[in-house]
Amino acid sequence: RMPSCLLKLTRVVLSHKPWALLILICLSISFAYIKLHSSVWEDPRSRGLPYSLSAEISCAHSVPSSLNTAAGHSPSTANVFFVETSEQTTPSYLFSCSVESAARTHPASRVVVLMKGLAKGNASLPEHWAFSLLSCFPNVEIRPLDLTELFSGTPLRRWYLWPLRHWEPHFLSVLSDACRIVLMWKFGGIYLDTDFIVLKNLQNLTNALGIQGDDVLNGAFLSFKPRHEFMELCMQDFVQNYNGWLWGHQGPELLTRVFKKWCSLRTIKSMRCKGVSALAPEVVYPIPWQDWKKLFEAISALELHNLLKNTYAVHVWNKLSHETKLEIPSQALLAQLYSQFCPATYAKMKQD
């Protein structure tokens, strides 16, 4: 219903000059837009139990019995976070591989997948093979992403609630940048983009982020203790130097700006400064984004071993690589990573 104030305004307009009609039209459109925005962008609540996972896929060969803490890693309560800020609820093979590889390498941690597209109050996930596959891993939790709740109590709350925000050209990417910073500040743990394949346990990389190359840090991997001052400075910079119209300004460029100030640097180098580590590119970005096509080229087992011996995770640069066909099975670097580090997802790929 139109509010009573607008009804009264209508009576006034009808008894005055025609130009006032234009004001009424503008007000009505604004009201309708705000109502539409509040309904479209209302976020599901993330409180309560995680979604229940269906079990349509047999888990007999998905999770080895050796998946426990006996692999030399001490138990940890730090979470591993993945975030999907779009309405997408049909995970890709790469999405499934990212979560599976993290679950396998972090058996003592909760692997929490936050998805904006999950409906509020629904106890079961949409029917999709990836959700069934991930149900094989007892440490995986899939929850709805409540953005209003996530940003509450942070400098980003007012930024998110501005009604015209989602018209910006890179809004989903900027929203993802915002989520990871706030997650690390509020809860701590490990954040990973859904185009990572995890090779090793990441828990000992604390208060760290990776150099992607070219004097730039990347936030596709973050690992921080909760309420860390560095993440607090990132939130402040996000708001104070905000520009949602420039690609990367709120992501890699923000992290680079803050780290340079944090360490009083002009150029980024692999180092630990005031308790925060900038990791060498080979740690989590062994394939530079400029060379992403190498992921689809054949590689020998020895070359693969040498390439990844100092690597904890491989970023696949999905924004660039997602339209490239991957032959399964093959000796392509990416196919071998799937085979070794997310074998359940790889089996599904071969089946399909």
DSSP letter, residue 75: -
- Average pLDDT score over the chain: 84
How many Å apart are CA 176 and CA 250, to the nearest integer?
Answer: 10
Q: What pLDDT is attached to residue 23?
A: 47
Residue 134 confidence (pLDDT) above 90: yes
The share of the chain scoring above pLDDT 70, in percent, equals: 78
Q: Tally the residues of the chain.
A: 352
Q: What pLDDT is attached to residue 120?
A: 74
Residue 269 confidence (pLDDT) above 80: yes
Residue 88 confidence (pLDDT) above 70: yes
Q: Domain ranges in the chain?
A: 77-283
How many Å apart are CA 117 and CA 140, to the nearest integer?
Answer: 18
DSSP letter, residue 319: H
Count of other CB atoms within 10 angstroms of residue 60: 7
User: Minimum mean pLDDT among 41-50, 121-130, 154-163, 237-246: which range?
Assistant: 41-50
Q: What pLDDT is attached to residue 12?
A: 43
Residue 224 confidence (pLDDT) above 70: yes
Q: Which fold has domain 77-283?
A: Spore Coat Polysaccharide Biosynthesis Protein SpsA; Chain A (3.90.550)
Q: What pLDDT is attached to residue 293?
A: 97
Q: What pLDDT is attached to residue 75?
A: 45
How confident is the model over 11-54, as pLDDT tens digits? 544 455 555 445 444 445 444 433 333 333 333 333 344 665 55
Mean pLDDT of all residues in 165-190: 94
| pLDDT band at 167; cut points 50, 70, 90 | confident
Q: Which residues pair with 222 in a beta bridge?
A: 191, 209
| pLDDT band at 61; cut points 50, 70, 90 | low
| pLDDT band at 325; cut points 50, 70, 90 | very high
- In the block, tokens 């119209």 appear at 245
DSSP letter, residue 278: E
User: Minimum mean pLDDT among 49-58, 149-158, 231-240, 255-264: which range?
Assistant: 49-58
How confident is the model over 245-257, as pLDDT tens digits? 899 999 999 999 9
Higher pLDDT pick, 164 / 40: 164
Q: What pLDDT is attached to residue 43?
A: 36
Angle at 49 between CA 45 and CA 51, to 5 degrees: 80
| pLDDT band at 119; cut points 50, 70, 90 | confident
| pLDDT band at 59; cut points 50, 70, 90 | confident
Q: What pLDDT is attached to residue 258?
A: 98
Cβ within 8 Å of residue 17, ≥6 positions away: none
